[in-house]
């Protein structure tokens, strides 16, 4: 395929990968097209097969091509249909790589051990009635004791996204406007599209959502406002108490937002260094606060709590009765044990400090290579780059995978990548050097 050889300006692994990426993006190479063999392209370009092989690995790592063994390599066909739209672009990231900093998942080595908690669960998964209270009383007591404000009602759901979905289903209707952070979490955008809602993007600064931009957005009479109070995904920023109070004041004083519901996704609270803040402290009748334990205690636990006004929580619980019914009381018992056992508490506290150290060390290493980042909390950080595609491809060529920034943004013209800094355990300087070089590519 001579068009590839003609498109390559610099016959290095990065140059070859970038040229093929441009051909795919422009449509000159279509999904399913077969690529030349490594040996043939190496001959056409006058380079070693290893050079082309590294380029192919980089393109495979970012999901642009797929290798089918002896059949050859092909442009990635249609994305996996079961993935939501903004996840489909990440399908290629299921392939192995040297260091995957794209996932946004916690370090499995820093999750608390489950052995003791599992040993205390009943041998049989029984329940006395399908109409029992959806939350076991012991867990509710622990949750209320640590909630950031005095909340009327609390229930348990199957993870943060389940909580977001249930909350949106309860408070918005087709065509409603919903204020979102820009950048924000891609599945939130997918959920809003699913419900037929219209996104109203509001930008952020180092303290979170900007009050002046929120005030302007409220003139559109939104039905809901989506916030991530701590360890914002993708930026790693956290709301200060002063900023939370200012946002609450803007909402309270707006004649267009008296019925708007604030939905807070505290997805990384237990491993965030920042204090737990909620607009519910000032607007308890307008806030649904979600606290997930996936990042801190294990993604596969699929458990989160959601609290807010009684009438909204009761409507949410009633709808769940017609679906999953309740979150497994066995899982609730395990979570209660993890939240009260001294060893588990210590393990989560240690994880929080380790994540903070990793964020700081990577930030300092980046600064030594000329890249300054605002402080990040939790496990992710948001790296501005000159060209998103070039940065992703160049890092993939070096064996490092990061998440492209486009799915996280609403406004066009932004060039970022999300880096899961919490997964960097060592080699901070060398990784920072590669990130800094890619940022300038």
| Strands 287-292, 261-266: pairing kind | parallel
Position 76 scores a pLDDT of: 78
pLDDT in tens, 400-419: 999 999 999 998 788 999 99
**C-alpha 44 chain-centroid distance:** 41
DSSP state of 413: T
3-class SS of residue 209:
strand
Structural tokens at position 305: 């709590």
DSSP state of 296: H
φ, ψ for residue 108 (rounded to 5)? -60, -25
CATH number assigned to the domain with residue range 85-110+345-439, chosen from the 4 options 3.90.1150.10, 3.40.50.1820, 3.40.50.620, 3.30.1600.10 = 3.90.1150.10
* Pick from 209-223, 291-305, 387-401: least confident: 387-401
Which CATH architecture is the domain 2-75 placed in? Orthogonal Bundle (1.10)
Structural tokens at position 118: 């599992």
3-class SS of residue 292:
strand
Give Cβ neighbours of residue 328 (< 8 Å, ≥ 6 apart): 125
Among residues 130, 226, 243, which one has the least CA distance to residue 177? Answer: 226
Position 96 scores a pLDDT of: 56
Q: Report the C-alpha gap between 223 and 196 in whole angstroms.
A: 13
Q: Percent of the chain scored above 70 by pLDDT?
A: 94
Q: Report the C-alpha gap between 368 and 429 in whole angstroms.
A: 8
Cis preceding linkage at 237, omega within 30: no
Segments making up each domain of the chain, as ranges? 2-75, 85-110+345-439, 124-340
Residue 2 clears pLDDT 80, i.e. is over it:
no
Q: How confident is the model at residue 117 (pLDDT cuts 50, 70, 90)?
A: confident
**Bigger pLDDT: 350 or 96?**
350
Mean pLDDT of the chain: 90
Q: What is the mean pLDDT of residues 328-356?
A: 95
Contact indicator for 135, 303 with CB cutoff of 8 Å: no
Position 225 scores a pLDDT of: 98
Residues listed for the chain? 441
- H or E segment at 21? helix 13-26
| Cβ density class 56-79: b for 16+ within 10 Å, e for less | bbbbbbbbbbbeeeeeebbbbeeb
Among residues 381, 374, 378, which one has the least CA distance to residue 351? Answer: 378
First CA to last CA distance, the chain: 27
Position 88 scores a pLDDT of: 60
Beta bridge partners of 181: 202
Position 352 scores a pLDDT of: 97
CB-count burial class (<10 Å; 0-12, 13-18, 19+) for 417? buried
| Strands 153-157, 304-308: pairing kind | antiparallel
Position 283 scores a pLDDT of: 97
CATH number of the domain at 124-340, please?
A: 3.40.640.10
**Bigger pLDDT: 138 or 58?**
138
Q: How confident is the model at residue 375 (pLDDT cuts 50, 70, 90)?
A: confident
Position 165 scores a pLDDT of: 96
Q: How confident is the model at residue 265 (pLDDT cuts 50, 70, 90)?
A: very high
**C-alpha 329 chain-centroid distance:** 27
Cis preceding linkage at 398, omega within 30: no
pLDDT in tens, 284-296: 999 999 999 999 9
Q: What is the mean pLDDT of residues 412-437?
A: 94
Position 64 scores a pLDDT of: 82
Q: Is the dihedral of CA 183, 188, 194, 198 positive or negative?
A: negative
Structural tokens at position 303: 């458990």
Residue 70 clears pLDDT 80, i.e. is over it:
no
Give Cβ neighbours of residue 137 (< 8 Å, ≥ 6 apart): none
Residue 25 clears pLDDT 90, i.e. is over it:
no
pTM given for the model: 0.83
**CA-based Rg of the chain, rounded to a whole angstrom?**
23
Per-residue DSSP letters for 7-53? H-SS-SHHHHHHHHHHHHHHTSS-TTPBPPPHHHHHHHHTS-HHHHH
Q: How confident is the model at residue 383 (pLDDT cuts 50, 70, 90)?
A: very high
pLDDT in tens, 310-330: 999 999 999 999 998 899 999
Contact indicator for 245, 209 with CB cutoff of 8 Å: no
Position 31 scores a pLDDT of: 81
């Amino acid at each position: 395929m001579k068009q590839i050889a003609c498109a390559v300006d610099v016959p290095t692994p990065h140059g070859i990968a970038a040229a093929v990426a441009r051909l795919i993006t422009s449509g000159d190479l279509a999904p399913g097209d077969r690529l030349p063999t490594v040996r043939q392209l190496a001959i056409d370009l006058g380079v070693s097969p290893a050079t082309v092989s590294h380029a192919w690995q980089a393109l495979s790592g970012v999901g642009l091509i797929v290798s089918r063994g002896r059949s050859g390599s092909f442009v990635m066909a249609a994305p996996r249909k079961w993935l939501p739209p903004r996840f489909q672009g990440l399908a290629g990231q299921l392939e192995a790589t040297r260091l995957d900093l794209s996932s946004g998942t916690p370090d499995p080595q820093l999750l608390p051990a489950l052995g003791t908690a599992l040993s205390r669960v009943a041998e049989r998964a029984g329940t006395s009635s399908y109409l029992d209270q959806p939350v076991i009383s012991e867990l509710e007591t622990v949750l209320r004791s640590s909630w950031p404000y005095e909340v009327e009602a609390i229930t348990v759901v199957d993870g943060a996204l389940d909580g977001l979905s249930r909350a949106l289903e309860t408070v918005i209707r087709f065509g409603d406007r919903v204020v979102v952070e820009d950048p924000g979490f891609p599945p939130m955008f997918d959920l809003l599209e699913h419900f037929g809602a219209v996104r109203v993007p509001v930008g952020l600064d180092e303290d979170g959502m900007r009050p002046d931009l929120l005030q302007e957005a409220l003139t559109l009479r939104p039905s809901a406002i989506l916030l991530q109070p701590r360890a914002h995904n993708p930026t790693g920023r956290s709301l200060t108490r002063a900023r939370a109070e200012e946002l609450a004041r803007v909402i309270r004083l707006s004649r267009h937002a008296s019925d708007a519901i604030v939905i807070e996704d505290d997805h990384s609270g237990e491993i965030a260094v920042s204090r737990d803040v909620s607009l519910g402290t000032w607007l308890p009748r307008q806030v649904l606060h979600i606290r997930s334990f996936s990042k801190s205690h294990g993604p596969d636990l699929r458990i989160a709590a959601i609290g807010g006004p009684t009438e909204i929580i009761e409507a949410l619980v009633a709808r769940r009765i017609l679906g999953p019914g309740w979150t497994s009381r066995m899982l609730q018992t395990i979570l209660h044990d993890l939240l009260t056992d001294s060893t588990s508490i210590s393990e989560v506290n240690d994880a929080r400090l380790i994540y903070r150290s990793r964020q700081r060390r990577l930030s300092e290493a980046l600064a030594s290579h000329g890249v300054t980042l605002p402080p990040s909390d939790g496990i992710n950080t948001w790296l501005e780059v000159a060209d998103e595609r070039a940065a992703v491809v160049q890092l993939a060529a070096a064996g490092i995978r990061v998440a492209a920034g486009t799915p996280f943004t609403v406004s066009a013209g932004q060039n970022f990548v999300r880096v899961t800094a919490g997964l960097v355990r060592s080699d901070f300087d060398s990784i920072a050097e590669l990130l800094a070089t890619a940022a300038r590519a």
